[in-house]
Amino acid sequence: MIEVQNITKHFGSFRALDDVSLAVPKGKLVALLGPSGSGKTTLLRILAGLEAPDRGKVILDGVEATEQKARDRGIGFVFQHYALFRHMTVADNIAFGLTVRKGKDRPPRAEIDRRVAALLDLVQLSGLAGRYPTQLSGGQRQRVALARALAVEPRLLLLDEPFGALDAQVRKELRRWLRRLHDELGLTGVFVTHDQEEALEVADEVVVMNKGRIEQVGSPAAIYDSPATPFVYRFLGNVNSLPCAIHDGRAEIAGLSLAIEAPNSGGEGNGIAFVRPHDVEVRPPADGLPRAVVEQLAILGPVVRADLLLPGNISLEVELTREQQNHLSLAKGSPVGLSLRRARVFAGA
Amino acid sequence: MPKNNPAKPWRVIPGFGLTLGLTLGWLSVLVLIPLTSLFVMASGLSFEQWLAIFADTRVQAAFRLSFGGALVAALINAAAGLLVAWVLVRHDFPGRRLVDAMVDLPFALPTAVAGIALAALYAPQGWIGRLIEPFGIKVAFTPLGAIVAMVFVGLPFVVRTVQPVLADIDSEVEEAAASLGAGRWQTFHRVILPTLAPALLTGFALAFARAVGEYGSVIFIAGNFPGLSEIVPLLIVVRLEQYDYVGATAIAAIMLVASFVLLLAINGLQRWNRDRLSRGAA
Amino acid sequence: MRRDESPLIRWLLIALALGFLGLFLVLPLAAVLAQALGKGTDAYFAALTQPDAWASIRLTLLVAAIAVPVNIGFGLAASWAIAKFDFRGKSLLISLIDLPFSVSPVISGLVFVLLFGLQGWFGETLRDHNIRVLFAVPGIVLATMFVTFPFVARELIPLMEEQGREEEEAAIVLGAGGFKTFLTVTLPNVKWGLLHGVLLCNARAMGEFGAVSVVSGHIRGLTNTMPLHVEILYNEYDFVGAFAVASLLALLALLTLVAKSALEWRLRDEIAALRQS
């Protein structure tokens, strides 16, 4: 178990982390998700010992490690731009962490060679041991960086934007590969990303960060289905935010003339209702249903995205299947009726 | 909540104290303390002593030659350097890379060697001296000789500051100017020259600063006649040889202040140059 | 087409530029050779084998052998401190390191005369202990170190700043110590830049005239470096001797230029690779 407790960190007058506490269970892969400046990379670097917190503790496997030097923490770190040693071959890069050990801690040369070969095999780069980093593609460099970090058999693997510098296709492949690798090796890992899709796909647990604070911690499903704050809703994207008035535990969404239950929304007054496009049901216009007009239709493969215009000039994005579209014979300008399957209301937001 | 030892900053990479200590220590011992000693000594001079030094026409003449000659030499270098940079960047010709490498010769050639070589060339029987003598032009052992030497030592500066900026000018910019109806000359002086201006000015200032302080190459060709072809650094040496430490120190202090002012100006110019370049790239 | 002048102007510009460079660069070099060999090769080699000429060569090599390694040590320390850490006053420090470049060589010598001369701050102390700095080898070494002070540091600082700190951090997370990280990661990354700085530093150390001239005392066979020896022979109208020694210095300059150009091509490739990755 890896823990940080009440970590605060300033850079000059900028507060990068504000009283952050987090526990990473053994064997889990955790994503730190947030926009740039949210403090996620700072938290990762504090775990590695590359930065020191102003306040708070780092506890590795039950032992306080706040004052421990980076080189003694036994952590594997994969840098955003890989930081491969450019004058060393792939094999020498991977062997580095073993060859710098002193005295009896250093494995004999044959043992090092054997481990390097095994790691090259693991990251599927067996033929490239003698190459230099500049002779590799981005994805290959990434895997060398990973093998180098794994060579020291770290108790915790940290990855800073591991797929950030790759193009879309390679990024997708590596994502799945990393997930499989994690399941195979049973490592404890933390990675930083600003890409919600990446976090949801790869991680066991997602930590959403904003302005140096943790907004929510949970499984990918929990994070997506029930965001705890307006920020998490907005950051995960793919959501309509509609102004509403809250009264007596119910929210009146303007333009929809629709009242929904708003438990725990915290009082009276104005608020915002968050509705995901696929949580809006589109029906034929009927009495008693709020009405809207189709303003724009876009066919995105199997699904159709429709921009609806509600009374009061409010836009609403909905998603439906091609079948539903055919069934309703939707076209630009069609009138429709609506109902909401799910919405979440926050007061004052 | 315990506050983690704020007195000792956390540095992952070791060796900060050691290397910064070595740097500051060696800088102080070798550069700062010696330079300070010069100013401390100069500050001990009375007003009358300063006045006497500057009332000396020999001192005045030396300053005129060092600064005036350096100005002329830097102007020549600005024009010739721009031409050389232009030709090296824009045109290909046999031996271009060799010529490019040769431009740095004045950085590598000891000044004394340059001095005696120039003196041999421009002496009345020398290869060049012989040719220009019939026209009544004398270079060796005149102020003109000092300027020739100053041109030599300042030659690489303008070329090396202008070259990268010129190479960076996007051909589309010129094509745009041409498509808007500008002629070749108009494109040059309304589009290219303003882009080069900061670099050109930086190179000019660097060449000027170098020429002002130059000693080795000048003294062999200038003839060193007091009041006529004597430069300030030589005057400092003369004063030292006469054991006139006060005079040498005073003149040196003035030179040093002038160099620092130039250094500040050059730093400002370089920042301007960089800002313009980076803004162009953004 | 739009970028190019008409052929006539083009060749005129090239001719003008080459003419200027020929006049100021090629002719002086040719003059050195012509004068050195003016009385035949026997006279040339006789001049070079003079004991005083030998003594000046030995002294020049000795001075460079002290000044250059000290400069390397300082340059590495300064660039490590400046490029790998953040601290206040960094840009002031960089400016101060460059300072000796803007000081006239004569003044660079003068400051040591003011410190170590008989009337200087330490003059009497040195005399009482019978230590000679001025008009002796230590003074020459000091003046040479002063004028060459910025060479290696100003070469390495921008290079190391460009390379960043991630590789060093990676090495340390993998368990390497500071010195090991420097030797195995940092030094190999800057070796060509370091060599470039060393070449320029060495050329200046061997060729320095003004500063050394002020502190040397011009004692033949004892405190004359090669450039100073050139001056003495020249002033004695021994032109073959002066230009013979000068030709060695010119050869050194040419070799420096060749090596420097070769290195610059390499460096350009490395920096291009760096920017790309």
**A124 Cβ under 8 Å from any chain B Cβ:** no
Please give the residue of chain A at the shortest CA–CA distance from B9: A52
| Residue B11 falls inside a structural domain | no
Q: Does A117 touch chain C (CB under 8 A)?
A: no
Is B102 within 8 Å of C25 when comparing Cβ atoms? yes
pLDDT reported for residue A262? 59
The answer to whether the CB atoms of B6 and A70 lie below 8 A apart is: no
Q: What integer pLDDT is reported at residue C1 of this predicted model?
A: 38
In CATH, what number does A239-347 get? 2.40.50.100
Closest residue in C to A99 (Cα) is C176
Residue B166 lies in a domain: yes
pLDDT digits (tens, 9 = 90+) for B53-69: 989 999 999 999 999 99
pLDDT for res B6: 45
Element (DSSP H or E) covering residue A215 = strand A213-218
Q: What six digits make up the tokens of B28?
A: 């102080």
Residue range(s) defining the domain that contains residue C83: 52-276
Q: Residue B1 domain-assigned?
A: no
Asked if B259 and C102 come within 8 Å (Cβ–Cβ), the reply is: yes
Q: Hey, what are B158's tokens?
A: 């303008």
d(C-alpha C159, C-alpha C75), whole Å: 12
Q: Residue B211 is part of a domain; what is its CATH number?
A: 1.10.3720.10
Any alpha helices (H) in C85-149, and if so which ranges? 90-98, 105-116, 123-128, 137-148
C164: left (phi over 0), alpha (psi -120 to 50) or beta: left
Q: How many residues does chain A have?
A: 349
Does residue B201 fall inside a structural domain? yes
Mean pLDDT of chain A: 89
Answer whether B116's CB lies under 8 Å from C214's CB: no
Which backbone phi and psi does C185 adopt, to 5 degrees? -115, -55
Q: Among partner residues B105, B118, B252, which is closest to C253 by beta-carbon distance?
A: B105
Is residue B9 within a helix (H) or strand (E), and if so which, with residue range? Answer: none
Residue from A180, A184, A187, A193 nearest A74 by CA: A187
* Residue among B16, B76, A231 nearest C168 (CA): B16
Domain CATH code at residue C156: 1.10.3720.10
Residue C177 domain-assigned? yes
Q: Give the bridge partners for B20, in sequence order.
A: none
A209 φ/ψ angles, rounded to the nearest 5 degrees: -120, 150
Report how far residue A34's alpha carbon sits from residue B17's, in angstroms, rounded to the nearest whole number.
36
CA distance A109 to A114: 9
Give how far B2 is from chain A: nearest CA, Å.
7
Mode of pairing for the β-strands spanning A29-33 and A205-210: parallel
Residues of C in contact with B18 (CB under 8 A): 77
Q: Do C189 and A79 touch (CB under 8 A)?
A: no
Whether residue C14 is contained in a domain is answered as: no
In chain A, pLDDT over 70 holds for what percent of residues?
96
The total number of structural domains that make up chain B: 1
CATH number of A2-232: 3.40.50.300
Please give the helix or strand (H or E) that residue A303 lies within, else none: strand A303-310
Mean pLDDT of A199-218: 95
Please give the Cα distance from A94 to A120 (Å, whole number).
8
Output the pLDDT for position A264.
59
Rounded to a whole number of angstroms, the distance from the CA of A279 to the nearest CA of chain C is: 44
In a domain, residue B141? The reply is yes
> Domain range holding B95?
65-231
C chain contacts of residue B99, beta-carbon cutoff 8 Å: 18, 21
pLDDT interval class at B282 (50, 70, 90): very low
CA nearest neighbour of B120 among C225, C46, C29: C29
What ipTM does the predicted assembly reach? 0.92
Q: What is the pLDDT of residue C9?
A: 87
Mean pLDDT of A79-88: 92
What pLDDT does residue B35 have? 95
* Sign of torsion over alpha carbons B127, B131, B136, B139: negative
| Out of A49, A86, A100, closest to residue C180 by CB | A100
What's this model's pTM, rounded to 2 decimal places?
Answer: 0.87
Beta strand A205-210 with A2-11 is: unpaired
Tell whether B108 is covered by a domain: yes
Count the neighbouring beta carbons within 10 Å of the beta carbon of residue B155: 27
**Domain residue ranges in chain A:** 2-232, 239-347
Q: What is the pLDDT of residues A275-288, one digit of tens each?
A: 999 888 888 888 87
Strand order of the sheet with strand A189-193?
A: A75-78, A156-160, A189-193, A29-33, A205-210, A213-218
Nearest to A50 among B1, B3, B12 (CB): B12
User: Is pLDDT at B112 greater than 90 in this prediction?
Assistant: yes
**Using the beta-carbon criterion (under 8 Å), do C28 and B117 form an inter-chain contact?**
yes
pLDDT for residue A267 = 65
Is beta strand A335-340 parallel, antiparallel or unpaired with respect to A280-283?
antiparallel
Higher-confidence residue of A138 and C6: namely: A138
Q: Which two tokens stand for residue A51?
A: 């930065």
CA distance B52 to chain C (A): 21
CB atoms within 10 A of CB B248: 26
Determine the residue among A20, A45, A54, A158 to mutate to test chain B binding: the one whose Cβ has the most chain B Cβ atoms within 10 Å: A54
Are residues B112 and C74, on separate chains, in Cβ contact within 8 Å? no
The ranges of chain C with pLDDT < 70 are 1-4, 274-277
Residue A250 confidence (pLDDT) above 80:
no
* DSSP 8-state assignment for residue A71: G
Q: How many residues make up chain C in this entry?
A: 277
For A72-82, write each residue's pLDDT tens digit. Answer: 999 999 999 99
The confidence score (pLDDT) of residue C14 equals 93
Locate A313 and state its tokens.
Answer: 């000039």
Q: What values do phi and psi take at A191, rounded to 5? A: -130, 150
- Do the Cβ atoms of A54 and B3 come within 8 Å? yes
Contact B12 A66 (CB under 8 A): no
Q: Strand order of the sheet with strand A63-64?
A: A14-24, A2-11, A55-60, A63-64
Q: Which of A125, A122, A158 is CA-nearest to residue A141?
A: A125
Residue C179, min C-alpha distance to chain A (Å): 11
More confident residue, A166 or C61: C61
Does C5 reside within a domain?
Answer: no
Condensed to tens digits (0 to 9), the pLDDT of residues A42-54 reads 999 999 999 999 9
CA gap C78, C160 in Å, rounded: 11
Residue B104 contacts residue C199 (beta carbons within 8 Å):
no
For residue A243, list its beta bridge partners. A272
Q: Where are the alpha helices (DSSP H) in C6-89?
A: 7-21, 27-36, 41-48, 51-84
Q: How far is CA A334 from CA A31, A307, B264, in A?
A: 43, 11, 71
Per the CB < 8 Å rule, is A67 touching B4? yes
pLDDT at B163: 94
Pairing mode of beta strands A240-247, A335-340 = unpaired
| Partners of residue A67 in chain B, C-beta under 8 Å | 4-5
Angle of helix C226-235 relative to helix C187-207, nearest 10 degrees? 20
Give bridge partners of residue A278 from the DSSP assignment.
Answer: none
Sign (positive/negative) of CA torsion A35, A41, A46, A47? positive
Q: Per-residue confidence at B281, pLDDT binned at 50, 70, 90?
A: very low
Please judge whether C177 and B14 are an interchain contact, meaning their C-beta atoms are less than 8 angstroms apart: yes
Q: Give the burial class of A77: count Cβ atoms within 10 A of its Cβ; 0-12 exposed, 13-18 middle, 19 or more buried.
A: buried
Whether the pLDDT of residue B7 is over 50: the answer is: no
Domain count, chain C: 1
Strand A2-11 and strand A55-60: pairing? antiparallel
End-to-end CA distance of chain B: 45
The answer to whether residue B37 sits within a structural domain is: no
Give the nearest chain C residue to B104 (CA atoms).
C257
Residues of C in contact with A141 (CB under 8 A): 277
Question: Do C96 and B27 make contact, defined as CB atoms within 8 angstroms?
Answer: yes
Say yes or no to pLDDT of B2 above 60: no
Chain B contact for A298 (CB, 8 A cutoff):
no
Instruction: Please judge whether B1 and A52 are an interchain contact, meaning their C-beta atoms are less than 8 angstroms apart.
Output: no
From C170, C188, C273, residue closest to A83, measured CB to CB: C170
The whole-number pLDDT of residue A265 equals 54
Best mutation site among C159, C168, C172, C174 for testing chain A: the one with the most A CBs within 10 Å? C174
Which of A83, A97, A134 faces C167 most closely, judged by CB atoms?
Answer: A83
Residue C128 belongs to a domain: yes
B60 CB-near residues (< 8 Å, 6+ apart): B54
pLDDT tens digits, residue range A224-244?
Answer: 988 999 999 999 988 998 888
| C76 is a domain residue | yes
Q: A2-232 with A239-347: one CATH topology?
A: no
Neighbours of A292 (CB within 10 A): 26
pLDDT of res. C275: 65
pLDDT at B277: 65
Q: Locate the chain C residue with the closest alpha carbon to B214.
A: C104
The answer to whether A71 faces chain C, any CB pair under 8 Å, is yes
The helix/strand/coil state of C85 is coil
Q: How far is CA A91 from the centre of its chain?
A: 31
Name the token pair of B270: 């370089």
- Estimate to the nearest angstrom the gap between the alpha carbon of A286 and the chain centroid: 41
d(CA A60, CA A2): 5
Pairing of the two strands A75-78 and A250-253: unpaired
pLDDT tens for each residue of A292-319: 899 999 988 888 999 998 887 888 999 9
Residue in the structure block whose two tokens are 């071959």: A89
